[in-house]
Amino acid sequence: MFKEGNRECIDRLIKPSKHVLDTGAAIRNEPYDTRVALWQEIKTNAGRYKSGECGTFLEDLHTVFLARFDTSLLLLARAFRQNSEPFEESTYFSGREIEAYDTIERYGYFRILSKSEIAKKIRNKDEKTLSLIREYSVSMKKQMDDILADEGIRDTIRSYLKKQWNESTKKIGDAIAGAEVDLDWFSGMTPDQKEAEPRAPQTIIINAGNDAAINLGAGNIVKDAVVTGSTIESAGGGSTTVKDSVITKSTIKTEGNNAAPDTGISISDSVITSSTIKNSEEHTAVPEKGPEKESPKNTCLVCNTPAKPGAKFCTTCGAKITQLCPGCSSPLTPGAKFCPECGRKTI
């Protein structure tokens, strides 16, 4: 059985890193000598951990610990550079790695606030909050994809930034769900969009959290998104398009009139698991028409020559023409008013 490493040991070694990460960008305001001492202590502690001083941990925890050591050093290197201080070891990290951190740090505002505080600001239409949510939703996914695919950034840094991205995305999604507002006004914040009629399909890229509902009105476009435990619904008709997305444990539903143009659900380049896809459209059922039955023709039973209506004798062989029931094609006796086989009226 696997025995986890010494937690007290790793907690002690990682304490200086935790202090730097909790302080964030403001670490640059601490005295230069303090930051130099922190740098040396963190590097020493990271080396002691890697040498096995605290024992062995599960791979996931091991990755988390290494990410904290490296990212706290990156924050210090960033501070030395921002303050234009001559600390040679700050070149340990590349400009691209610091830029990647800055990309995430721009949204540190959401890490400071609780979900309920973000939801309150959404309901009050706080300009800064809505502006950051718009930017975060529309452009951040692409930037994160670029960062996570960049092999020039250390795996530990990418791991830390991904964790921050996932936590912030979940918090924002939960806050939006908790605000209980119609999301379509996120895309209508600019003056030229506010009065647009009819409303154009909206693009919202969020993680809506568990049991949330996204109703964007006349058509949806969900692109480059991670959506879990949610409902994507176009209740007023219009199309629902899902592209380049990961959808899990969710419902995608379009309800409207199938006579309207551009209705229905379009899904491409996406991964959808444990979800329901429903296209409910109102329409009038039109029963299928079967092939029309031809009325049976009077035919000579001797030579099979078709006879004209009312003819009594065959024009080919002279035999007497037998009338046929128009319902079941059974032969009729002369003067019969009803078919002896099916009972249909013949006259």
The predicted-structure confidence for 222-268, as pLDDT tens digits, reads as follows 555 555 555 666 555 556 666 555 565 566 666 555 444 455 666 65
What is the arithmetic mean of pLDDT over 101-129?
A: 84
For 212-236, letters b (16+ CB in 10 Å) and e give bebebbbbbbbbbbbbbbbbbbbeb
Average per-residue pLDDT for the chain: 74
What is the arithmetic mean of pLDDT over 118-141?
A: 81
Tell me whether residue 102 is exposed, middle or buried, using C-beta atoms within 10 angstroms of its C-beta: 0 to 12, 13 to 18, 19 or more. exposed
Res 138: pLDDT: 72
Res 261: pLDDT: 45
What is the pTM assigned to this prediction? 0.52
Q: How many contiguous H segments (helices) and E segments (strands) does the chain have?
A: 9, 11
Secondary structure element (H or E) that encloses residue 227, with its range: strand 226-228
- Token look-up 């922190």 returns 38
At residue 247's C-alpha, the angle toward residues 176 and 127, to 5°, is 25
Within 13 Å and on the Cβ side, how many CA atoms surround 70? 22
CB-based contact 57:8 (threshold 8 Å): no
Q: Determine phi and psi for 312, rounding to 5 degrees.
A: -100, -25
CA distance 325 to 161: 85
For residue 53, which of 85, 2, 20, 10 has the smallest C-alpha distance?
10
Range with the poorest average pLDDT among 24-33, 149-158, 280-289, 330-339: 280-289
CA distance 97 to 208: 29
Res 5: pLDDT: 86
CB-based contact 275:250 (threshold 8 Å): yes
Res 207: pLDDT: 47
Res 241: pLDDT: 64
Res 34: pLDDT: 95
pLDDT digits (tens, 9 = 90+) for 56-109: 999 989 999 999 999 999 999 999 999 999 888 888 899 889 988 888 887 777
Res 14: pLDDT: 95
Within 13 Å and on the Cβ side, how many CA atoms surround 143? 18
What is the arithmetic mean of pLDDT over 196-210?
A: 43
Res 113: pLDDT: 84
Helices of type H across the chain: 7-23, 32-50, 59-82, 95-105, 108-112, 115-123, 127-149, 155-179, 191-194
Phi-psi region of 340 (alpha: psi -120 to 50; beta: other; left: phi over 0): alpha
